[in-house]
Amino acid sequence: MHVEDITDVGVFEGNTPAIWGYHQSLIVRTGDSVFAAIMEPRGDGFQQQWSLFERTAEGAWLRRYTSLREEQINQPPTLLADDGDGRLHVVAWPEGEMHHYQFDPGSGSFDPVVTTPERSPHEDLYPYSSSALNEAGDILSVVSPYRANRFALRSATTEAWTLGLVVAHEKRPESPSQWARQAYPFVELNGREAHVFTTQDINDQEKIDAAQGFTYSFRTLQYHYSPDVLNEPFTTTEIVNVEESKGWAHNDDMLLDSSGRIHLIYQFQLVEGDWGATQMMHAFGPGGGPLKHVPVGDPGQFNEGRLWESPEGGLFIVLPRFQDLHVAALTAGGELAEEPAPLNITSSGWGYSGRVFLVSPNGGGTPGRVLEGLFSQELEDGRVALRYFQASRGAETVIAETGTVPQQVALGSGYPNPFNGSVTIPYSVRGEGRVRLEVVNMAGQRVVTLADDMHAPGSYARQWDGADDRGERVASGAYLIRLTAGQVQFQDKLMYLK
């Protein structure tokens, strides 16, 4: 596990958090660099800007661009990376107007080309939006004003934007907004095939009459699909509806995997406020459906879910549990393949609720070979730190298979660490197969083999007393524990002190 600080930001009255329950792509990888687009409050209300940060190949975080002070925003921008030409794209909505920023890092300059396409008509300054980029470099941006969810498609060839409709909202007379809009969109674009996953966002008159502090209700989730965004209308599939029981629902994530299947992660409560009964679900299937819905974990176990696909095609879910992040593989049947393992990234309070953004193909660019992403953490002085993490443990699926169940392994953290007597190294195996556990030095040379044989499914632990294969004590210093199964390896560092 590796964590780095990117920057920290202030908190002012009326600001939305720098990263929150939004659905934009905020962090992407292209080549050897990672880029993050971060909202930076500078005063109350709409007095917020955004900045582009780059993590260089050497591991340094550099601020590359900051938006103009007069371009005040109330939600983070969307960051996209086009590996085809090396350019970065940012879609932001200062004071409700769509701006497109194009950066060319390869030129050595971070002065963007900024255009303001004709915006989709809307009547509010909260244009909750998200965008996606396909392999050709086309950009699909979806915005959710009250009357209708609308899209804008930018052609990489002509650089022209085409506007269109995703779904028109129903009238909602009992809501002061008058409309039952679907907001907070996730967006995927595969060629011209478009996917949008939204949640209902209505200003609830009953809550207003009861003088409740939060007056909005989220009770339906919808999945919108078009096989050709420019020529075929979107069809709408209702994912969950808890209107009758006055429940609550939330769309957590959407991912289009390398085989073309769509995956949705969502939560619902039959009665709003019954957090102990909150059920997380995984819905998946071909584009447009039909979708299979499978529970993820027990009710009340986790409070958010994010999806990540490894370069080898294994699907994983990252599960914040209020004060720690967990990760688990998903089976071909959509269920948890293992007990979610903690990543040992701790936060305070609700620091992870909706505040984890993963590097994945959703934002274009290339996913890393390890799980990596962006999260926020509250600081003691009232500011908020924005941090980057990498996690190699628990983030791969072993290629070798036994029957129809893939063998999966996870390496735990050795304890105690540092050690001067012996260290215990836990690991787990799902699916029968050959597993090798060994200690190597920092040059990658084998020191000792602790296990190298067939393993049945289960939890294991091995001890190492600081001796090599010949029984001789090694020198004090750093060593790597390496767990190998099939073509996948996990590593964790130990410090041995004589």
Structural domain ending residue among the three candidates 332, 363, 391: 391
- Whether cis (ω within 30° of 0) applies to the bond prior to 416 is yes
Rounded distance, CA 115 to CA 112, Å?
Answer: 10
Whole-number pLDDT of residue 417: 84
Which residue range forms the structural domain that includes residue 441?
402-496
End-to-end CA distance of the chain: 25
pTM tops 0.85, yes or no: no
Whole-number pLDDT of residue 210: 93
Residue 105: inside a domain: yes
- Distance set, CA 206 to CA 24, 213, 220 (Å): 31, 12, 17
- Alpha helices by DSSP H, listed for 149-262, are 205-209
Residue 253: inside a domain: yes
| One-letter identity of residue 326 | H
Residue 139: inside a domain: yes
- Distance set, CA 416 to CA 125, 408, 411, 432, 442 (Å): 53, 25, 15, 29, 19
Residue 254 sits in the same domain as residue 118: yes
149, two tokens: 């969810």
Residue 415 sits in the same domain as residue 333: no
- Distance set, CA 272 to CA 218, 229, 334 (Å): 9, 35, 26
User: How many Cβ atoms from other residues are within 10 Å of residue 12's Cβ?
Assistant: 13
Whole-number pLDDT of residue 383: 84
Q: Is 472 exposed, middle or buried (CB count within 10 Å of its CB: 0-12, 13-18, 19+)? A: exposed
Query: Taking the CA of residue 393 as centre, how many other CA atoms within 13 Å lie in the half-sphere pointing to its CB?
Result: 25
Structural domain ending residue among the three candidates 391, 414, 432: 391
- Whether cis (ω within 30° of 0) applies to the bond prior to 290 is yes
Q: Which residues of 424-447 are buried (b: 16+ CB within 10 A; e: fewer)?
A: ebebbbbbbbebebbbeeeeeeeb
Residue 156 sits in the same domain as residue 124: yes
Whole-number pLDDT of residue 124: 54
Question: Which residue's entry shows tokens 């294969």?
Answer: 469
Q: Is 322 exposed, middle or buried (CB count within 10 Å of its CB: 0-12, 13-18, 19+)? A: middle
Residue 225 sits in the same domain as residue 133: yes
Residue 244 sits in the same domain as residue 323: yes
Among 60, 43, 59, 61, which residue's Cα sits nearest to residue 51? 61
The tally of domains found in the chain comes to 2
Residue 441 sits in the same domain as residue 373: no
Residue 62 sits in the same domain as residue 141: yes
Answer for the pair 249, 272: CB distance below 8 angstroms, yes or no: no
CATH code for position 467: 2.60.40.4070
Whole-number pLDDT of residue 400: 25
Residue 141 sits in the same domain as residue 184: yes
Rounded distance, CA 24 to CA 33, Å?
Answer: 19
468, two tokens: 């090599």
pLDDT in single tens digits along all 498 residues of the chain: 688 889 998 888 877 777 776 788 999 999 889 999 999 988 887 788 999 999 988 889 999 999 998 888 888 899 999 988 999 999 998 878 889 999 999 998 999 999 988 754 445 556 789 999 999 999 999 998 888 999 999 999 999 999 999 999 999 999 998 999 999 999 999 999 999 999 999 999 999 999 998 899 999 999 999 999 999 999 999 999 999 999 999 999 999 998 899 999 999 999 998 988 999 999 999 999 999 999 998 998 887 899 999 877 889 998 876 567 788 889 989 999 888 887 777 655 444 444 788 998 878 888 777 889 998 877 777 788 888 988 864 433 322 222 233 446 777 778 888 888 899 998 887 667 888 899 988 777 889 999 998 888 778 899 999 999 999 999 998 888 888 876 556 777 788 887
Whole-number pLDDT of residue 348: 52
291, two tokens: 């979708």
Residue 116 sits in the same domain as residue 15: yes
111, two tokens: 């002065």
